[in-house]
Amino acid sequence: MKNTNKNINYSGTFPKYYDLINKGKDYDKEAEIIDSVIRKYSKKKSLKLADVGCGTGNHTIAFSRMGYRAYGFDVSRHMISIARGKSTGLHFECKSFEDVDEPFDVIVSLFDVVNALGPYKNLAGFFRSVAKNMKNDSIFIFDAWNGSAVFLHPPEIKTKAIEWKGLKIERKVIPKTDFLRQVCTLKYDIKAYKNGRLAEHVHPSLVINFFTYNEIVNALDDSGLKVVQAFPYKEPSKKIAENDWKINFVCKLR
Ligand SMILES: C[S@@+](CC[C@H](N)C(=O)[O-])C[C@H]1O[C@@H](n2cnc3c(N)ncnc32)[C@H](O)[C@@H]1O
């Protein structure tokens, strides 16, 4: 099924501010943790990896530096154009994975990609597009918001001050959660000050569809995939619990 979601905002101002909004996220460290998990399941050298929903390419670049033959795919041409602007010679393609037809050893979808696909009906279609590009020994690793944690501990307003390219940035994120429909809208309020004066003030927003653990497992099952490991975000040695804010899933073909 084609991704029919019209709500996600990876065009307009959001891509421009994406790396700024996520400044402080340690992509290299996260890629190292994911690499340690991949190594548990594959001893092959020079693995061919697809980063699906690669956004501005930070994980793709990190995996490439670690020796993976890394390819980045994203449906947003704005995000892809930022990714292309960063890296030398890496393959970034503005394409839905449904339109990709080649086998990968590893497929990753990191930092809430499955929460950016739109409503639940889109989930199994996305997983099927992943499964069709996997071989028997391929693995698929993704992370997702954990619905039960959202119900138990709803997202709250967060503020952060950062320095960026000579600017002082104040970043506020205001979540509005619709528990019935399992949708959280994150409204960002970003103010950039230059020499103490307000230089820019933008309000990008992002729609997150969150799912429970069981919903995700069922969608995987419907798509021919099985979970071989699930762990709290970035903590592969631990077991998951209802309170874990985010879960990493490791999957193989069923
Ligand atoms: C929260 S961003 C994560 C980007 C990147 N993985 C990162 O870690 O910074 C979610 C990304 O998923 C992309 N996306 C949404 N639906 C997609 C789809 N069906 N196929 C591929 N990418 C998709 C969006 O364009 C966006 O760049």
pLDDT attached to residue 224: 97
Q: Is the CB of 209 under 6 A from ligand 1?
A: no
User: How many whole angstroms from 194 Cα to the centroid of ligand 1?
Assistant: 31
List, edge to edge, every strand of the sheet that includes 104-109: 91-94, 69-74, 48-52, 104-109, 134-145, 246-253, 225-232
150-208 CATH fold: S-adenosyl-L-methionine-dependent methyltransferases (2.20.130)
pLDDT attached to residue 1: 35
pLDDT attached to residue 12: 67
Q: Is the CB of 60 under 6 A from ligand 1?
A: no
Contacts of residue 251, Cβ cutoff 8 Å, sequence gap at least 6: 139, 140, 141, 142, 220, 225, 226, 227, 228
Give 5's Cβ-side CA count (13 Å radius).
26
Q: Is the CB of 108 under 6 A from ligand 1?
A: no
User: How many whole angstroms from 6 Cα to the centroid of ligand 1?
Assistant: 14
> What class is the 13-146+212-253 domain?
alpha beta
- Judged against a pLDDT cut of 80, whether residue 3 lies above it is answered with no
Over residues 128-182, the pLDDT tens digits come to 999 999 999 999 999 999 999 999 999 999 999 988 778 888 989 999 999 999 9
Tell me which residue has tokens 């690793």: 141
Q: Is the CB of 58 under 6 A from ligand 1?
A: yes
The best mutation among 11, 22, 113 to test binding of ligand 1, ranked by most ligand atoms within 8 Å of the C-beta, falls on 113
pTM recorded for the entire structure: 0.93
Tell me which residue has tokens 């391929």: 138
Q: Is the CB of 76 under 6 A from ligand 1?
A: yes
Over residues 93-139, the pLDDT tens digits come to 999 999 999 999 999 999 999 999 999 999 999 999 999 999 999 99
- Pick the residue whose CA is nearest to atom 4 on ligand 1: 55
Domains in the chain: boundaries? 13-146+212-253, 150-208
Average pLDDT on 74-79 reads 94
**Cβ(143)–Cβ(233) under 8 Å?**
yes
pLDDT attached to residue 174: 97
DSSP 115: G
- Pick the residue whose CA is nearest to atom 25 on ligand 1: 76
Q: Which of the two residues, 188 and 21, has the higher pLDDT score?
A: 188
